[in-house]
Structures are given as structure tokens and as C-alpha cells.
Amino acid sequence: MINVAAIRMQQFGVQFYQASLTAKDIDKLVRFEVLSYADLAHPPVRGGRRGAGPKINWDLLEQRIASSDRAYQRHIIRRKIDELVQYYEQCRQARDLPSIPGAVIISCDEKLKFEPVADGASLGTLKVPEREGILRAIDGQHRLLALHAALEQIGGEPFTVPAIIFDQLPEDHIVQMFVTINAKHTRLNASHLVSLSGRQLYRDDNLAAAHDIVRALSDREDSPLYQQIKLLGVGKGKVAQAPLAQELKKLFASDAFGTGRKADEFREDSNRFFVNYLKQVAQVFGAAWNGRKYSIRSAPALRAFIRVAPDVIRPLDQERADRADFRAIGRVIAPWGRRIGDLRFETEGAWKRNGSSVEQLAKELRLALQYPEGAGI
């Protein structure tokens, strides 16, 4: 038996449980199935294979999905799994949002045993037979399949999923619940999401400024990240918005760019600095920025460049130069080309060998600015 923390609930005479399942529990206990008729057999997954985003082993994933004329689920959509896995990876990198905050709905083929913490208590332990495929998803099958595909990324991190669990529901009740949940969909138009500016979406001035910078990096044609950032989960870009915005927010909140009127003015006009700054980064590390086998445009690398932006601005202020001066920024970060170089970002080389954490790379960038010729180290 697997012991699961749960709350016993009652609605109109029906008993069910609000439970907490680990990623490991879900991977072992939940079975996936789609509706398919013997004379009209289709593969359980539909849609073309996509190259963008984290790699998904579709062959292994499809082996987890059964087809039956007694099932009720629709065929799995590749694009939806792709997008969910990318979103989970964004959440893992940004560490500011849960990837599955809402409960999935699951049914169990057998009667479950519930042990309350005290007589009559609704809080207790749900005992689920430790048998592969004993649970099946009523709502949330794509989310759980994407979780299965993302297990390697999650690794040994604690990861629990809220779940509503029914036991021994009649088959017709399960189908009725599935149809009721999925008959209508309310979705925001993608163009409406993209059109929202930071000022409309965020009340926090620091987060609004961060969002405006990310939008400028994504929308301006002279930006080295033009159309490469996935804004609000929408678009073809490979760079996640959230990790960059959170890194910028922390800098603005920490007074790293100064205090008072000067800081306020910079926050209002910081887009120019960051576009020119990353344009110079793209020139200093030209081979890495334009190469395919490098990780310089990954979230950790971009966050490190953002994190050391105050160290780049400091000498500009000392020279009384305009913070957004393209050539002045280039002079300040020129030592990175000599001290760090393109090979530091080679994915299968120094990036993997020397570490790819934000803090590690930021430390190397700061040292190169502090000791441009290598003296004193």
C-alpha cells in the first residue's frame, strides 16, 4: 500500500478524497487510455513532432497510453504535451510558480481505505494499493502525461500534485463527469495576452519595469533576442520570460541600480540599456551567440548576464557616461572576450564541465570585470 495524505470530503452523499500524490506515485499508479475503435484504429497521440523545447521521448510516452473502445478520453495532442513540458521547465527554472497548482481528477478501480487521524476527522491517510495502473485520469491526463515526460528534469526534487480521487465510481458516472468538464472551454485569446503591457498586468513597479524590458528584448528588431522570448507562454520563442523577469525584478527591488530620482529615471528608461547591453554581449561572444552547440541563450546564462548588470553600470557611472551608451558598454565588458571566451558556453564542454548555475557564471563575469588582465587572482 502507498500511504497518501488526504482529506475525506462529502457532497450530496458522494464521498471522495482530496489527496497529495508525488510524481513517483503518479508515474506508477496512473494509467492512461484513449478512445479507439477496433475498425478505426488510430495512434493514441496525434500531431506532428516538434523540435523546439525540452526533448520528449515520444516512443516511450506512447507506450504508456492504451487504446480501447471502452475508454472515454480523447487522443493525446503532441503540441499540448510539448507546451506543458516547456511550461514545467520554465517553472523549474524561475522557481516562483507551481506547474500543477490545480487538482487533477482521478478514479480508482477499487475501494480505498481511509484512516482518519481521529474518530470522525476528515483529515487522515488514504491507503492506495501499490499496483501499476490502478488509477486513471478523468481530468488532467495531458498534465500528468507531461509530468511523466518531464520526470528526468524534475530529478530528485520534491514534487507533489493535488488530486481529487474517487473510488469505484460507476462507469457511466465517470463518462458523465468527463463530458461535463470538457464540453466547454474558456480561453483568453493569445493576441490579447501578448498585447498586455507590464503596467496593465502588474501593479508592482519593479515587476512592471522587468516585464517592459523583457518585452523590448523580444519585440525590438535590433535586439539580439528578437522574437526569441516566449511571452506569457505564447509564441515560438525558446527563451522563457519568467526567469528573466524575476531576475530583473530582484535587481530593481534591491536598489542595485541606485536610489532616488536617478534610479527611478533608469527604471523608466532601462529598456535602452538592456537592449544595447545584450547586443554587446552577442558581439563579445559572437561564435557562441550564433552557434547551435552553445548554451549562452539559455535561462541560466541570460540570468547571470542580468545579475551582473549593476557591475557593468558602475564603471559607466564613474566615467559619467550615458548608461545606455552602446560603445561605452562594449568597452566595459570587452574583458569577457579575453578572460571567459566562447568556449565557456559550449554545451557539451565547459558549460557542463565547469557548472551552469547562475551564481557560478555571475561570479566568473564579475571577476573578469574586476581583473580584466587576470591580475590579482
Per-residue pLDDT tens for 195-221?
455 555 556 778 888 888 998 999 899
Q: Which residues pair with 67 in a beta bridge?
A: 34
Which pLDDT does position 377 carry in this prediction? 41
270 with 355, same domain: the answer is yes
| 320 vs 74: which has the higher pLDDT | 320
Residue 163: exposed, middle, or buried by beta-carbon count in 10 A (0-12, 13-18, 19+)?
A: buried
- Beta strand pairing call for 123-128 and 2-11: antiparallel
- Supply the range of the domain harboring residue 111: 2-182
The answer to whether residue 238 sits within a structural domain is yes
The answer to whether residue 375 sits within a structural domain is no
137 with 176, same domain: the answer is yes
Q: Residue 22 in contact with residue 159, Cβ under 8 Å? A: yes
Side-chain-facing half-sphere of 82: CA atoms under 13 Å: 18
145 with 114, same domain: the answer is yes
Q: Which of 182, 205, 220 is the last residue of a domain?
A: 182
Single-letter amino acid, residue 171: E
Q: Residue 2 in contact with residue 127, Cβ under 8 Å? A: yes
Q: How confident is the model at residue 373 (pLDDT cuts 50, 70, 90)?
A: confident
CB atoms within 10 A of CB 172: 8
The answer to whether residue 132 sits within a structural domain is yes
Which of 95, 85, 84 lies closest to 358 in space, CA to CA? 95
Task: In whole angstroms, give the CA distance from residue 32 to residue 106.
Answer: 11
Helix (H) or strand (E) holding 123: strand 123-128
The answer to whether residue 323 sits within a structural domain is yes
Task: In whole angstroms, give the CA distance from residue 366 to residue 315.
Answer: 12
For the stretch 250-307, pLDDT in tens is: 898 888 888 888 788 888 889 999 999 999 999 999 999 999 999 999 989 999 999 9
Domains of the chain: total: 2
Task: In whole angstroms, give the CA distance from residue 78 to residue 55.
Answer: 12
Q: Which of 152, 182, 212 is the last residue of a domain?
A: 182
Q: Is the pLDDT of residue 99 over 70?
A: yes
161 with 201, same domain: the answer is no
Share of the chain above pLDDT 70, in %: 78
161 with 106, same domain: the answer is yes
Q: Which of 134, 164, 182 is the last residue of a domain?
A: 182
30 with 101, same domain: the answer is yes
The answer to whether residue 365 sits within a structural domain is yes
283 with 146, same domain: the answer is no
Which pLDDT does position 40 carry in this prediction? 41
227 with 128, same domain: the answer is no
294 with 171, same domain: the answer is no
246 with 123, same domain: the answer is no
216 with 139, same domain: the answer is no
214 with 164, same domain: the answer is no
Across 26-30, 50-54, 162-166, 331-335, least confident range: 50-54
For the stretch 305-358, pLDDT in tens is: 999 999 999 999 999 999 999 999 999 999 999 999 999 999 999 998 887 889
**pTM (2 decimals)?**
0.59
Q: Residue 307 in contact with residue 358, Cβ under 8 Å? A: yes
Place of cell 464540453: 183
Which pLDDT does position 198 carry in this prediction? 54
The answer to whether residue 377 sits within a structural domain is no
